[in-house]
């Protein structure tokens, strides 16, 4: 599988987006973003760390923000997730078809027609060779 040169930047962007969602208290986006983060390989401990980082700066959060004191507690194993795991479809692959080579419509010739065509070709005179360049004019020198 080829390495994506933008993978690190994309993951940093996901991390920053999650931290922004936590800071702003966006309860609509948080569940679906959490599902996506799990699907791309981030763990619950990663999300808990980001939640702490997002809420540890008082000047970055709204005045009415209330921190979750149980953020570092592990979620219960039997707690159902809000959204079921969804498979991420593979990106579409462009299919380029080879161009169709059109054969010219050439009628099939009979044996007699082939013999006549060969006779016509043999009757044509060979082209005359070009006359040599004059000796007093410029001449091409060979490099080899």
Instruction: List the chain domain ranges.
Output: 1-88
**Band of residue 8 on the pLDDT scale cut at 50, 70, 90:** confident
Task: Quote the pLDDT of residue 87.
Answer: 65
Chain-centre distance for alpha carbon 68: 40
Task: Quote the pLDDT of residue 99.
Answer: 73
Q: How far apart are CA 15 and CA 51, in angstroms?
A: 10
**Band of residue 21 on the pLDDT scale cut at 50, 70, 90:** very high
Q: How far apart are CA 88 and CA 39, in angstroms?
A: 8
* Whether the Cβ atoms of residue 45 and residue 75 lie closer than 8 Å to each other: no
Task: Quote the pLDDT of residue 107.
Answer: 72
With both helix axes pointing from N to C terminus, report the angle between 44-55 and 7-24 in degrees, rounded to the nearest 10.
60
Cα separation of the two ends of the chain: 50
Give 26-63 pLDDT, tens digit per residue: 889 899 999 999 988 888 889 888 888 887 766 666 77
Give 77-135 pLDDT, tens digit per residue: 665 555 555 566 767 777 777 777 777 776 777 888 877 777 766 656 677 777 766 66
Residue 144 predicted with pLDDT over 60: no
Residue 19 predicted with pLDDT over 80: yes
């Amino acid at each position: 599988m080829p390495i994506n040169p933008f993978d690190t930047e994309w993951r940093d962007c996901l991390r920053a987006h999650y931290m922004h969602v936590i800071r702003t208290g966006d309860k609509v986006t948080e569940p679906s973003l959490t599902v996506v983060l799990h699907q791309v390989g981030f763990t619950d401990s990663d999300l808990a760390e980001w939640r702490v980082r997002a809420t540890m700066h008082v000047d970055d959060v709204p005045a009415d923000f209330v921190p979750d004191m149980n953020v570092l507690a592990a979620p219960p194993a039997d707690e159902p997730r809000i959204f079921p795991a969804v498979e991420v479809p593979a990106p579409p692959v462009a299919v380029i078809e080879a161009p169709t080579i059109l054969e010219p419509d050439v009628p099939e010739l009979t044996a007699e027609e082939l013999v006549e065509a060969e006779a016509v070709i043999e009757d044509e005179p060979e082209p005359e060779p070009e006359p040599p360049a004059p000796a007093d004019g410029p001449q091409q020198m060979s490099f080899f």
